[in-house]
Copies of this chain bind each other. A is one copy, B any other.
């Protein structure tokens, strides 16, 4: 959907003549009360569920969660997936042309925040004639957007489902983002963010950024279980030799399975993800901090929220640890809000929010079932 009117951004800049890519699933009911907005995290898009015709392996990124008969049942709810401004999967982003000067934005794409994304999503809902959401839902950075919806548009959100998220980033979270950004920005192929003009891509930096990201998405336990200290595959077979005689004694060759996995993830990512988008989205994560304008008092910041909440965290998530979700729960309870909270004992780290855990999926299903009864009543 194209938006001609300028959207004022938190930074004071604005963006005009932009487009948002979105997909919808299911049918909006007569009183438009069954809409659920899905907000995405770093590496995802508006394509949250289903397959594209004729394209195997094109499942939406939350296809285990959303679809007919699934926990968020598209036979009951009208689900909207939207790609955020600055992303590289369809909506206006750094690879597009700046209408002000006719040149590709590149590094000149304005810095966007979680709040800006929520404002852009609200405009999309306006255009669709949806005044109130049954729910807004997201994991990780998507959870931050869901939380922000309840503060920016408290009257437009009945429920917020905030999964594996946090009320802001810790210094360590920012630190990992910063190293990833430095890897990209100092790649000679970055050219100050105007690499498109040079016909190159800062793939070295993107690979490093993704490798760092992947380490923080997984738990130490699941890494040990999946890879441990196993040596690389040899001629297509995992080497089963356990002796030190199997070592290659090389600093640059792949020696351990975990190295092979990380390099593969980095290579894949560098093929399709935009470097400027990586900078923008990690910065949006850094900036999100609803308590900042309230002297750091999250309870005060969340006093505006009037939605009902479901928060979910995962025990082995060390990126957005359960204690971060509990901070949100506590701040909501301080305001006597209606909050459900589940801490799922899952081994997969931060990635768990995308995976098939029966207790997690069952919990979300039951929450949406309850919501549907409210709507039907």
Contacts and interface: CB of A to CB of B under 8 A. Distances in A.
A153 to B, nearest CB: 18
A342 interface: no
Contacts of A179: 208, 211-212, 215, 262
A131 to B, nearest CB: 28
A99 interface: no
Main secondary structure of the interface of A (DSSP, over half): helix
Contact of A178 (B169, B174, B258): B258
A160 interface: no
B283 A170 contact: no
Interface stretch (A73-81, A119-127, A182-190): A182-190
Interface string A1-40: 0000000001111000000000000000000000000000
B10 A224 contact: no
Contacts of A263: 178, 182
Nearest to A180: B208
A172 interface: yes
B229 A178 contact: no
Contacts of A249: 10-13, 110-111, 287
A183 B204 CA distance: 8
Contacts of A242: 292-293, 295-296
A277 to B, nearest CB: 10
A235 interface: no
A16 to B, nearest CB: 18
A289 interface: yes
A273 interface: no
A376 interface: no
Interface in A248-271: 249-252, 255-256, 258-259, 262-263, 266
A298 to B, nearest CB: 12
A375 interface: no
Nearest to A278: B251
Contacts of A10: 244, 249
A224 B170 contact: yes
Given A11-B247, A176-B215, A252-B279, A171 B289 contact: no
A366 B186 CA distance: 49
25 contacts: A11-B247, A13-B249, A107-B251, A107-B252, A110-B249, A169-B229, A170-B224, A171-B224, A171-B226, A171-B227, A172-B220, A174-B229, A174-B258, A178-B262, A179-B211, A182-B208, A182-B211, A182-B263, A183-B208, A187-B204, A193-B252, A208-B208, A212-B212, A243-B293, A256-B286
Interface of A: 10-13, 107, 110-111, 168-172, 174-176, 178-179, 181-183, 185-188, 193, 204, 207-208, 211-212, 214-215, 218, 220, 223-224, 226-229, 242-244, 247, 249-252, 255-256, 258-259, 262-263, 266, 276, 279-280, 282-283, 286-287, 289, 292-293, 295-296
